[in-house]
Amino acid sequence: MFEATNSSDILKDLLKNYRKNLRPGNAGDTLNVSMNLGVLSISNIEEENMEYTMHMYMRQIWNDPRLAFGNGSSRLILQHEVLDSLWLPDTYFENAVRTSVQQETRTVVLFGDGLIYYSQWVTVTATTMMDFRTYPMDEQVFKLDILSYAHVNTQIHYRRIDVELSNNETTKFMIVNQSIESTTKELFLGCFDLVTVKFTAKRRAGYYVIRIYFPSTLCTVVSWMAFWMDCRNIGDRGTVGITSLLTQLFLVGNINEAMPHVSYIKAADLFLIVSFAFTFTTLLESLIVYSTALRGKSANKLSPHKEKENETDLQICEVNQDEMACPNDADKKNVNRISKLHQLTRRKVYVMGASEKKLSMEAWIDQVARVLFPLGYTAFIVSYFLIHIL
């Protein structure tokens, strides 16, 4: 294969009666166009706008018999202004928001038998539908719809499409699969060949473990310190719970700024909500234990009127017993002292036993919380990751 030496004369003769506004095979034959996309990278993925940017070489191959000047071993390389004199396919990207073509890279290789190889460097910012229900352990499909702008499938047919991806890694995603689908799209002018290139990408979760899951889990675990504190020290227990709640609120607000704003609940939202609920329930448990301690303390205190009645009854009982058992006044006094001391001791022991019973109930609540809260939260975390990873 060699380049023709008299390329200027050949090109001048070819373009003498050439009409660029008519496609090859204008008499009725379908023009077959092959396409090759050399994708260098997929970048600038914006979840909020559901957009991504693709940098690629776009190559199209077809045959134009009007430009034949010999055999396939000879060729002409055409660039810049001369390309404006040739017919070129009106291929475009249907879901593109912005398309940028580097004019200096537009190159046509014209072979002697009329085969045309057209290449250009294209940067496409396209929109694609994204589903964030499993965010940040989601998979997204970046698709690119390619078709002719004005020629129906009886005029231009995209026969062969090849896609080469040079780099399957981005800062947020890992490209795990690519596919090509050829369908027909019916529009106002007729049916068009539609080529859809799809790249399936899995989000990298390591960044979100550090940013979302670890801080939220740590705040929830720290709030459980209240279970090991004195149940009557509501100030310290409340401080731990409220501080953990405020920290999680700050994390939720900070994290939501970086997450896509959608109307449904994402997997990350569910984790944050459940973690917040565990922290809030821990604070409620501290309030319940403190309230139980106050009720137990008030129940153990006897009223002054009731206490006087008990003392009077005790004295009457003691006098009656002493009069029956003691022959003289001295012995009666000694017995009264011993009986009174005995009764006071019995009453004191009784009150102390009631307090211990109430304190054991509050301690039991804390002991149950020490087991249930970690087990429940661990079960949630395990099931959460099993559901969204598997």
Domain match, 179 and 225 both: no
Portion of the chain with pLDDT greater than 70, in percent: 82
Give pLDDT, residue 351. Answer: 43
Which of these three, 203, 228, 244, is where a domain ends? Answer: 203
Q: Domain boundary at 183, 203, 223, which? A: 203
241 and 163 housed in the same domain: no
Do 91 and 167 sit in the same domain of this protein? yes
Angle, helices 214-223/329-389, rounded to nearest 10 degrees = 170
Rounded mean pLDDT of 226-248? 87
Banded pLDDT at 359 (limits 50, 70, 90): very low
**pLDDT exceeding 90 applies to what percent of the chain?**
46
Quick: pLDDT tens for 32-46.
Answer: 999 999 999 999 999
- Which range marks the domain in which residue 171 is found? 2-203
* pLDDT higher than 50, residue 390: yes
pLDDT tops 80 at residue 326: no
**Do residues 185 and 249 share a domain?**
no
Model confidence pLDDT, tens digit, residues 152-165: 999 999 988 899 99
Identity at 235, one-letter amino acid code: G
Task: Identify the CATH number of the domain in which residue 326 sits.
Answer: 1.20.58.390
**What pLDDT, on the 0 to 100 scale, is given for residue 320?**
43
pLDDT of residue 12: 86
- Does 123 share its domain with 211? no
> Same domain for 6 and 135?
yes
My answer on whether 198 and 211 are in the same domain is no
Looking at the predicted structure, is the pLDDT value of residue 376 above 90?
Answer: yes
Tell me the pLDDT tens digit for each residue of 98-127.
Answer: 999 999 999 999 998 899 999 999 999 999
Whether residues 166 and 229 share a domain: the answer is no
| pLDDT, greater one: 138 or 313 | 138
Total number of domains constituting the chain: 2
Answer yes or no: is pLDDT of 22 > 60.
yes
Whether 20 and 141 map to the same domain: the answer is: yes
Q: Which of these, 227, 171, 163, lies nearest to 374 by C-alpha position? A: 227
Same domain, 187 and 80: yes
Asked if pLDDT for residue 48 goes beyond 60, the answer is yes
Query: Mind listing the pLDDT tens digit for each residue in 77-98?
Result: 998 889 999 999 999 999 999 9
Q: Which residues pair with 118 in a beta bridge?
A: 60, 108
Query: Binning pLDDT at 50, 70 and 90, where does residue 358 land?
Result: very low
Examine residue 136 and say whether the peptide bond preceding it is cis (omega within 30 degrees of 0).
yes
Does residue 151 share a domain with residue 25?
Answer: yes
Question: Do 154 and 245 have their domain in common?
Answer: no
What band does 253 get if pLDDT is binned at 50, 70 and 90? confident
The CATH number of whichever domain residue 142 belongs to comes to 2.70.170.10
Using the 3D structure, point to which of 203, 225, 242 is the last residue of a domain: 203
